[in-house]
Structure 1
Amino acid sequence: MHRLAAIRASQAVLRRQTALSAASSRHVVTLRGIAALVHRPVGPPQQHVLSSWLGKTTHGVRAFASHHTNDDHVELLSFSEVKKLGLTTMDELIHSRGKPAFFAAAKRLKFTWKDFCAHNPYPSATELKTFFNAGRALDADSVLVETVMAMHKVFPKELKARHFMESRVSFLRLRKFDEMQAIFDAEKIAHPHPQPIFYIWVLTASIEQNNLDKIKALLAEMKHEGYMIPNETVSRLLFNLAKKGDKDGILDIFADLDPNVGIWTVPALNRTLVSLGMAGLPQLAFKFYGESTMDLVAATFKTVLEIAVRNECKKEAADILHNRKLFDLTLDTPEYNIILEALILLDRCDEMQGILDEMAAAGVPANAKSNYLVKTKTLDRIYLHSKHLYVQLVHFASTLVY
């Protein structure tokens, strides 16, 4: 109880200091400035400024909040602790504290931010940036999104490109697509020729919404501005089109892709190849990979061979199996499973035991799918294709890095 009283007392002191600084600091919004920025209808009691920014209800609860934990059971962080967290990274915190402590700290930050919003209606830019940095370190989506929205509303000049880059995935995960569009529109009004980051910002939101007309308009505008479109972003667009079965849309976008122009990562290349394979365009996938100068890695080997198997391209499957001996690839169970599938497709089941021996020698365990393939020596189209599609969707969802 004494500890809780001390914490609350320190918070009261912090609030008094914030109120005093609000009267004198040029970095803090004045009451007059707030009134000019926030337009509310006359009638219901007014909420304070942070409430209006962050989408709270009239009871002060964030409309998109899903937790049901009692705030009193969570020990709040001091402002100095929040500041200290912002000087670290997620990897450093997990390494030094462990995952349980990391998630506990993230929870404390969210409740500390909620308490801060409730008691500090006129925060300074420094305070908002401090919470943003801590939110980045703890991967706290709601804190990142809300601090960016608040700064964009009142301190737009304090926002740098990194704030948008570091919060974009959080906006996407919380499906704040309308807010992303609004930020882009505001930036375009302020600067007729926005920086590339803002185009990528709104383009990724449009991709998640599958708004193809909007996407094409943005791509055309970027080309007109002379901006290079990131291959990572285009690969995600292709994958979304492939899931919809939009072959024409894929061909339209794919026409401007070059495997040796721009920055290509392994996930972006694999995602592009998979998209072509899913759309029934395996020959385009093989040609695109053949023109790439990227080194072959296990994930790409699996991707290309899987495209050959799924589309029953026997010649390409045989060539890929033969050529793998030319590369020093470290394969895991999924890669070996697709090799087993390729052998079944090519009627070379007598070689399956050799693959099992290779797996055993490398210490790679067989799984249920391996055993199924060896036992049946058949490609159950319904079973394998549904599994393939599910695995791909899970894989790309887990690599949501723009």
Structure 2
Amino acid sequence: MVMGKMSSGVSATAAAARRVRRVAVALSLSIALAGCGGHVKGVMEPLNLAEAPKGNAVVDMLVATSRRPSDNPATLFSGERSTNPSVTDVAVSIPSGKERAAGTVQWPKKLPPNPETDFAVVRVQPIETVAQAHEWVRRHSKGGHAMVFIHGFNNTYEDSVFRFAQIVHDSGADVTPILFTWPSRAKVLDYNYDKESTNYSRTSLERVLKALVDDKNVKNITILAHSMGTWLAMESIRQMAIRDGSLPKKIENVILASPDIDVDVFARQWSEMGDKRPNFTIFVSQDDRALALSRYISGDVQRLGQINPAEEPYTTKLEAAGITVVDLTKVKSTDRLNHGKFAESPQIVQLIGQRLVTGQTLTDSDVGLGDGITAVVAGTASNIGKITASTVATPVHLLSGNLRPTPKKRPGDLDATLQGENAPLN
């Protein structure tokens, strides 16, 4: 009995110590997160310029949002939710290459911005009707390629606008840029509010995607989502696939950067999209400190953006699914949280803009991309993007850390296996 009590006491002490360590880690990461938003606020009021300075690039984007209008031209939209989505034509001037390094956003040190050295908004025009939105897409059509960007946790409206402008410019992507920004309060302690805001915004994003699919000037769509925005992206396209029976062919590519998604949940989302899925590319980093905090908050379940794709069961299951994973763990970052490497690395943003948005699949020759970037490329054994009969597994367990070995199939078992995989889930 004494031994039992002692063992129980030691066990309780160890558990308490683990809880204390988790709280300490969570607090330290929260402090780091809070320290990342120290730039000037209220940059959305456009400069009155006849033209941008010589050498500057201007990125035009269509911004759709489920945020509530702020009634302040300096911010445009707040972090609160709106039942009526809004669409705005926004243009951002970016200083010339001599004034900035690729992968960086030059926030103004004071207002108004200096367009010679700073990112600066040069046009804001509300879009009032669906016809106006389609006309904007027609005028800004780039070969029919549209890219939809969904930002992550802890972002204001202007954060997402400037980051997307940087990505479009630095990637050299020949696309029609569409930004979807959802109601984030941009406060570290409002993580749960932000997560619920992504759920709130699922149908709004789905409607944006449907409008693009129905637009005759759009031939194909790439979805690029970051962090918590990957949850919103996955939920919206899953919802669309369930509602319509399958995803539209125009949605060709889905790129998930630092996905803040439970790996088991991603497996179910992916499986419930049906057989006709877009090309998936995932950027991960095992040293992502923001996802480490999310993992603690979310019951210590692995986040998709932190997996090591070179380890089992991930290697085999990713290959079977035809999903390409690019591991950025060794890439150096100026971001203390290592959470935005996909946008800060010139090689990666160029890979997105020049290869992935046009539907080009990475091959084994792309595994060494320089500067510590490595790719675990799905299907390099000549079956890219295909699930063969020999690699069929239960979809719900696609990426689960608790994977069971796939049973060996006897002759005649294949049809039954596929029928089981396609059966409705309870």
The structure with the larger Rg is 1
Higher share of residues assigned helix: 1
Higher share of residues assigned strand: 2
Tell me: higher relative CO, structure 1 or 2? Use CA pairs within 8 A at least 6 residues apart: 2
TM-score by length of structure 2 reads 0.29
